[in-house]
Amino acid sequence: MWNKIPCARSELELLFTLCGGQCFRWKRTGDCEWTGVFANRVWTLSQNNESILYRVTKCPGLETSDEITRNTGKSNSRVQSVARKGRSMKKPMCEVTYTENDKIGDTTKTRSDQSSLEDDLLRKYFRLDVSLEEHYAQWSKKDPHFMEAAEKFTGVRILSQDPIENLFSFICSSNNNIARISSMVEKLCVLYGNKIADVSGTEYYGFPTLAALTDPSVEKSLRDAGFGYRAKFINQSACKIMQMGGSDWLDFLQSLSYEEAKVELMKLPGIGAKVADCICLMSLGHLEAIPVDTHIYQVAVQRYLPHLRGRKTVTDKMYNEIGDHFRALYGSLAGWAHTILFCADLKMFQDSAKQKLGLHDIKPQRKKRKQEQAL
């Protein structure tokens, strides 16, 4: 059975939000249906024009901090997995098979406390407390180029991701495309994460803990798995984060200003300005962060800053100028507005954007997707 959260499609478009280079663990598993992992659960999401539909498989023995707060009254600082000692890499903790009878639209008739908790997790993940239509209107008034993109790319939301997963996923993004980043992140989870469940014959794993990634054998193992130079950065960054306080240090970065948090992140191996901005934007709550990649550079020089056209490389000065321009234009949520421009520039979304109806009938364009870069 499906659970349901009221949410207009203009407030959230799953295709653009889940497949636009912010996260790498969602796979298309049906028409207008995506399956992925967060908060130690396997989620299958769909939507219609009025609602988000979801069903979820929870991993017994693993809790999120929201559940610990609800059950004990003691809160942790952030939603993250609390893994018990020992990992079963061979046997799934549960098996679920969905059939054709589990039709989209068949929703639960009663609501349990568990469903209420999972509603909350999903609302936080998609930042549903933010009125997107209102901000789209404000940004469109300020920028005719944004207005043009907004007509086709409604419902693009910034996800609120777990900082550990977000950080290491974007270390994998260096000189990489979305398809290959997704493959690397999945390998990382299979090698070092806890198995959550088998769902319809597919195994799903949680993201590794920091401790798991600090083991001295990690670098060689990841090199053997095809991570290249990123293997060293993953292991070294995990060790350095642990030395600075682990998850508490990442929580501390959320309390800093955007500029201060970015400086601290760039002290980690494998994290430059763009990756630091991705982490600030997508998991630390600094929504003014502007990751400048090749897509955003091209958008900037073609429509906003033509004097930068023709430069062979993006210097630090140019990077900062582009970011400052968008922050001055869009304000405190500039990173959110910039993400709509980013999605509008992805070739993989061009056919979908031309469709006024039936986005769920568009088949994945794999050949094009392999060439797309993450944010």
Domain boundaries, the chain: 3-152+159-369
Residue whose token pair is 């207008």:
32
Specify which residues 215 forms β-bridges with: none
Letter for the amino acid at 291?
P
Contacts for 248 with CB less than 8 Å, ≥ 6 apart: 77
Taking all residues of the chain, what is their mean pLDDT, rounded to a whole number?
A: 86
- What does the pLDDT look like over 167-198, one tens digit per residue? 999 999 998 999 999 999 999 999 999 999 99
Q: Which of 91-95, 162-166, 362-366, 368-372 has the lowest mean pLDDT?
A: 362-366
Q: pLDDT over 90 for what percent of the chain?
A: 72
Closest CA to 345 of 152, 65, 206, 215: 152
Q: Which of 7-21, 48-62, 337-351 has the lowest mean pLDDT?
A: 48-62
- What does the pLDDT look like over 320-352, one tens digit per residue? 999 999 999 999 999 999 999 999 998 888 776
CA pair distance 81, 73, nearest whole angstrom: 17
Where do the H-state alpha helices sit in the chain?
14-19, 65-72, 113-125, 132-142, 144-152, 163-171, 178-192, 210-213, 218-224, 230-243, 247-255, 258-265, 273-283, 294-303, 316-330, 334-345, 350-354, 366-369
Instruction: Please determine, for residue 86, whether its predicted confidence score (pLDDT) is greater than 90.
Output: no
Strand order from edge to edge, sheet including 51-58: 3-6, 51-58, 41-47, 33-38, 27-30
Question: What is the pTM assigned to this prediction?
Answer: 0.85
Q: What is the pLDDT of residue 347?
A: 84
Task: Tell me the catalytic residues.
Answer: 274
119 pLDDT band, cuts 50/70/90, is very high
Q: Quick count: other Cβ atoms within 10 Å of Cβ 239?
A: 17
* Cα radius of gyration rounded to whole Å, the chain: 20
CA pair distance 87, 83, nearest whole angstrom: 9
CA pair distance 57, 31, nearest whole angstrom: 20
Q: Quick count: other Cβ atoms within 10 Å of Cβ 124?
A: 16
Is the distance from CB of 20 to CB of 69 less than 8 angstroms? Answer: no
Contacts for 291 with CB less than 8 Å, ≥ 6 apart: 274, 275, 277, 278, 281, 335, 338, 375
Mean pLDDT of 197-208: 94
Torsion of CA 359, 360, 364, 365, to 10 degrees: -20
Instruction: Put residue 243 in one of left, alpha, beta given phi > 0 → left and psi -120 to 50 → alpha.
Output: alpha
Cα 269 to chain center, whole Å? 21
CA pair distance 66, 78, nearest whole angstrom: 8
